[in-house]
Each structure stands twice: as C-alpha cells, then as structure tokens.
Structure 1
Amino acid sequence: MIVLAKVVQTCWACPSQWDAWDAGGRYYYLRYRWGVGTVDSPHGTQIARFRHGDDLDGSISLEDFMAEAGLTLAPGTEAR
C-alpha cells in the first residue's frame, strides 16, 4: 500500500489531478478523466487504475480517488 506524505491538487476537473509524494520522496501522478483513475510513476509506470462513474466523468474528490486507488495519507498530512 502506498502512503502519501504530500498531495497537491493541480487541476480540479477534466481531469482531476494531483502531484503526490510518499515519505521517501517518490513522486506519483494521480489523474481522473473519462471515468478512469490512474496512479503513475514519473517513469510512466502505471501503479493503479480504476473505473468510477461513467465515461463522461472528469471530477472526483481526493478522498474518493484514494479509496478507489488503494492509497492512504500519512497521519497529519494535509492535502492542498
């Protein structure tokens, strides 16, 4: 399970997306568009993928995204 220590939202919708880092400083790109959420490494490796909603969905809350992708926030972490 990936535990994120920092999360910054870079776009609210179409797509919803975030830049995220774990406690070791590893970067992850979180993106949700067309009803599909993905978690990618900076090298293009897809770590997680899920379907949520319908094909036109492009907005999701961070909480819902993380639940669907199997991610968690480290205690005390604030997402921006």
Structure 2
Amino acid sequence: MITLVRVVETCRACPAQWDAWDTEGRYYYLRYRFGQGTVDTYANPDPETWDGVEGGVAQFADPDEPMRGTIELTEFLHRAALRLAPDAEVVAYAPTS
C-alpha cells in the first residue's frame, strides 16, 4: 500500500483534487470528477514541471452518481487503497486572490 507523507488540496470540488508525495518522494495526482476517482504518478515530483504520466496507480467509480464532483480526502484514500503516514502533512485548499 502506498503511504503518503504530504497531501496538498488544490481544488475542493468539480474536480476535487490533490497533489501528494509518498515516502520515497514520488509525486501523485489525485482527482475525483464525474463520479470517478483516479490516481496517477509522474516521473518528476514537481507538479509545476511534469514530465508526463508514468502510469495510473488506482481508479474507482460511482456509476450511480455520474455528476458527483466532491469527496473527502479520507474517503478518497480509502477507496483508492492509499494511506497517510501518521505524521503526514495535509494542507487544505486555500484559494489565492
């Protein structure tokens, strides 16, 4: 199971999405939109300079709720089979003006 040590919420809804890093420094893009959750990983851990998708790590769907665009991080992680480290840094969405 992948253990995340840092998670930064980048959007609250439509899509709900997070940037995340694991214990090895690998970057993950977590996204939930239209009732579908996906986790992708990238070769470069800096989301500002992605080198391209390395691969899909996990996905799940809510076919009975195709317009759903919100999900709490805890539910997302559970459904994607990811976990937070006990001392993980979790940063809530903070829009810039």
Question: Is the pair's TM-score, using the shorter chain for normalization, greater than 0.5?
Answer: yes
Indicate the TM-score class for this superposition, using the shorter chain for normalisation.
over 0.9
- 1:73 maps to amino acid: L
State the TM-score, normalized to the length of structure 2.
0.79
- SS of the equivalent of 1:54 reads coil
Which among 33, 36, 59 is matched to residue 49 of structure 1? 59
> Is 1:23 equivalent to 2:23 in the alignment?
yes
1:6 deviates by 0.2
Please list every run of 5 or more consecutive structure 2 residues that lacks an aligned counterpart in the other structure: 43-51, 92-97
1:48 deviates by 0.2
1:7 deviates by 0.2
1:78 deviates by 3.0
Percent identity between the two aligned chains: 52
State the TM-score, normalized to the length of structure 1.
0.95
Residue 85 of structure 2: aligned partner: 74
Residue 75 of structure 2: aligned partner: 64
Q: Tell me the C-alpha RMSD between the 2 structures.
A: 1.0
Residue 36 of structure 1: aligned partner: 36
